[in-house]
Each structure stands twice: as C-alpha cells, then as structure tokens.
Structure 1
C-alpha cells in the first residue's frame, strides 16, 4: 500500500495541530496513546504527518482532550481537506483558511512582499485605499475592513515574522504604517529591498511557514487564491531566494 505524500499542506497542518492539542495539555505521547487504546507508534505517525488519521480518529482524540468547539471545528476542517488533496485555496472558500492555520502553528514566518505591505501589517486607511483602487463597492469595502479588523484582533503575534518589502511597496506615508505594526508585534522584523537588488523574475509575493521539526511550506500569494508548495526542491529554492533578497535589504528606518 502506498503512503500519501508526507508534506501535503493540510496533512502538515493537521499533524502539527494534533501535536499542539496534546502538548498544550501537558500530556505525553505514550500517555495519550494508552488512554486512547492505540499504539504509541500509530499516534506518532499521525503527529508527524507520516500517516493520516481517519476523521473518526481525529474526533476521538479531540473529544478525549476536550478541546474547545472553535478548535474542534478548525482541526476537523483540516482533516476534511485531506480528501481533496487540493494545493489551491480560494479567498473566502472557507471560514478558516490554511493560511490562518499555518500562522497559528508556525514558529517562524518569512515573507517577501514586492509591491504591497502584507495584510497583517496594514492599517485600516492603507487597506481602504487598496480596496478602493480595486473598484470594490463601498458596502463591500466596509464589510471587508470589519472582517480584517476582527482577524487582526484574533491573530497570534508570538511567532517570529521577518518581512522583506520591495521598494515599490514603500511609496507614500509608509513610515507611520510600519512603525505602528512594529509597535504591536514584538517579534517582527521589517527590511526594504532596493529595486536594483530585485533580480529578474522575482516579482511574485510569497510566504514561508516554518513549523516545529524544521518543516517548511511555501504559500504563493495571488489576488484571489493561494497556492501551497511543499515539494522539497521548490521549497529550497524559495528559501534561497529569501536569503539572497535579505542580503541586499536594509532596515526600513534607514530609509526614513
């Protein structure tokens, strides 16, 4: 029997979430396996993403650990996504996105934003200007602004987040924008990459999520959808690209 690819985005998010649900309750792997009546090796395979648990297995674990309803819904949604094996995510397709899940489980995020300040760092005025420029209807703008404000309040900020901005993203009054973001996120690093240092073809924004165990997933960020990349050679190329850009970057305060 052929095992499924070990680094599918949803499988990685599921395994990390199951491990976090257990460790947050100070329970050892063997202890939980014994209480569930399964082999510790099987639970280890589930928590490392080497074998997918069934929907019933996930429900059993979450029920035993007594996770809250929101967490239960989030993790069960991830398990259901495994059946589609879809590396694409369309904006608004689900109430809980894989991007949000990876933000919750990542220990570090590396981000390249060549043209626009990333959404987690945007002020309401900045977001409003972007939405207006995209010909979004006024009522829809208000709804989108409210939805993003709710997301910001609920966003975890303890993760290390390194952002490289293209010089074209710094037009206008970007200094106060970034100063405000830096003031609310203690582990945020922001640098600017001069246009002259942006090598040919490096125009698409991407985000690299690093989770426990040095496992990496790349999210290619498009206007209405996200493509997740987990193939090792491709991930290696994106990590190398980030390092090259970072070598040419300067602290944003230096441009003020």
Structure 2
C-alpha cells in the first residue's frame, strides 16, 4: 500500500497552533527561527501548513515557547495525527474552518452532490422547497437569510467541478436548472448533471486537490465530517468521480422529465 500523505486538515490545524503560540509571545517569525536554530523559510512553511514539521521540531518549538502542559499535549496529538490517514471532526465552527482552509488551499475541487444542490448554487425557490419538506411550517425568510450567510462563508477558489445528481433538482427543477445553467458560464466553475440512469448509489463527497497533487476527500456522515488522505481510498473516490463525469451532461443539454 502506498504511503499516505500527511492528513491535510490536521496539518492545517497544527500550523495554526504553531503560529498562534509564536504570536502570543510577541515574537516575529525570523527572530524565533534564529533562536530555534532553523531557517525562517522552514518555520514559515510549518506555520502555513505547506510542510509537515518533524515531531521533534514541534516539541522543540513548544518547549522553547513554554506553552502550558495542556496545550503541549493538544498540539503534540495534532502532530501525531498527521500520520493517520483518517481525521474525523464534528460539524462545528472548528470543522467548518478546516473545510474553509481546504477550500482556500485547493487548486482544484471535485464535488459529487447526488441528493442536494450545493448551497452556493441554491436558488431561493429551492431553499423554500427543501425547508418546507424538512420542517413543515418554517420561517422561510430566516431560512433564506441563513443560507445567504453560509454562502458568504463558502466562496470558492481555484477550479471547481460539480456533478449534480438529477434527483437533487427535484424540489424546484426549473428555476434551479436555470440558475445552474447561468453559473456554469462562470470562470473556474464547471457544472454537469448526472442523469438518474447514470447515477450510482454513492453518497456525496468532495475531493480537494492541493499543491503537489496532495488529495483529501471530505465525507459528511450525520453530525461529523470525515477527512480521508489514504492514497488507495482517495484513488477509489477519484475513479468514482471520473466514472460519474463520463456519464454526465452539461446543464444546457439536460432536459428535465
């Protein structure tokens, strides 16, 4: 089995902790690097999550900065987690920030949405329909407002390919399809529809491709999000995405039943 790349979400969390530990002591990056006896470039790569520091380097930094024992243990657990190809987080603010960091670092993103249109692409009519289906009598204005707030937090960077299952359009087919056709013309965004006959029984997933061909798969399961970086599992999801893409059609070519 191929050796796994460092678990990217854990690497991002670790880099943030190292940066916060330094800045809380009022030390500049170059000054700390000099005191540690490492290059400023290496320390910068560690603090930006572009390179994984050795566990000895993490211990050296934390010891020099005299972080609390609780913080030391927490950060060291993050470093050990880098070697674990699976990371699980709850769908809370911390997990959301990890996904946001993945979005910002990804050069390409591939998303399979078989059941629900991704939030940044949903129309008000679509939000109303799924809100009514989910909760019966709901405050639709509030639902739309909350959706718009989440949209602001999900700005997309890099190139993104989104495969939407035809079943996902059902709550409001025509207005949603028109919106997807318009969005498909945006630069850096490719949207395709997977007809029911071609859609596999596959749960939704997102593949993030970082620099250097480092891939992370994000899977949502109930109240958790699972990040997978194990190469064989990643390759399986990439193959599934390519198979779905081959069977998909453009938004302009798709015709609703």
Indicate whether the TM-score tops 0.5: yes
Conserved 8 A contact 1:13-1:105? no
Of 36, 49, 52 in structure 1, the residue corresponding to residue 33 of structure 2 is 36
Partner of 1:43, secondary structure, is helix
Find the aligned partners of 2:155 and 2:75 in 1 and give their Cα distance.
Answer: 22
Over 3 Å counting, the alpha-carbon distance change for 1:83 and 1:158 in structure 2 is: closer
Deviation track 1:76-126 (CA, whole Å, cap 9, x = no partner) reads: xx9699279582233335484322221121111001111211122112332
Closer, same or farther in 2 for the Cα pair 1:222/1:98, shift >3 Å?
A: same
Summarize the Cα distance change of 1:87–1:156 in structure 2 as closer, same or farther, 3 Å threshold.
Answer: same
Deviation (angstroms), 1:242: 0.8
What's the counterpart of residue 189 of structure 1?
190
Displacement of 1:56 in angstroms is 9.9
SS at match of 2:157: coil
Q: What number of residue pairs does the alignment pair up?
A: 220
Question: Does structure 2 conserve the Cα–Cα contact (< 8 Å) formed by 1:205 and 1:222?
Answer: no
> In the alignment, which residue of structure 2 is the partner of 1:28?
none
What displacement does 1:250 show?
Answer: 1.3
Give the aligned partner of residue 217 of structure 1. Answer: 216
Q: Output the TM-score relative to the length of structure 2.
A: 0.69
**Aligned residues: CA RMSD:** 3.8
Q: RCO greater where, 1 or 2, for CA within 8 Å and sep 6 or more?
A: 2
Distance in 2 between residues matched to 1:165 and 1:95, nearest whole Å: 24
TM-score by length of 1: 0.69
**Contact 1:89 1:225 (C-alpha < 8 Å) held by counterparts:** yes
Q: CA deviation at 1:188?
A: 0.8
Partner of 1:115: 115
Equivalent residue, structure 2, for 1:74: none
CA gap 1:250/1:7 in 2 versus in 1, 3 angstroms = same
Q: 1:90 to 1:131 in 2, by over 3 A?
A: farther
The equivalent position to 2:54 in structure 1, one of 46, 51, 73, is 51
- Per-residue Cα deviation, 1:11-31 (whole angstroms, up to 9, x for no partner): 33347879xx9xxxxxxxxxx
Query: Matched residues in 1 for 2:54 and 2:207: separation?
Result: 23
Question: What does residue range 67-216 of structure 1 map to in structure 2 within 5 Å?
Answer: 82=78, 85=81, 87-94=87-94, 96-135=96-135, 138=138, 143=142, 145-171=144-170, 172-173=173-174, 174-182=176-184, 185-199=186-200, 202-216=201-215
> For 1:124 and 1:6, how far apart are their aligned partners in 2?
40
Q: Residue by residue, what CA displacement relative to the aligned partner does 1:117-168 show, whole Å, maximum 9, x if unpaired? A: 11221123322322222227735x6555433312323443332110111221
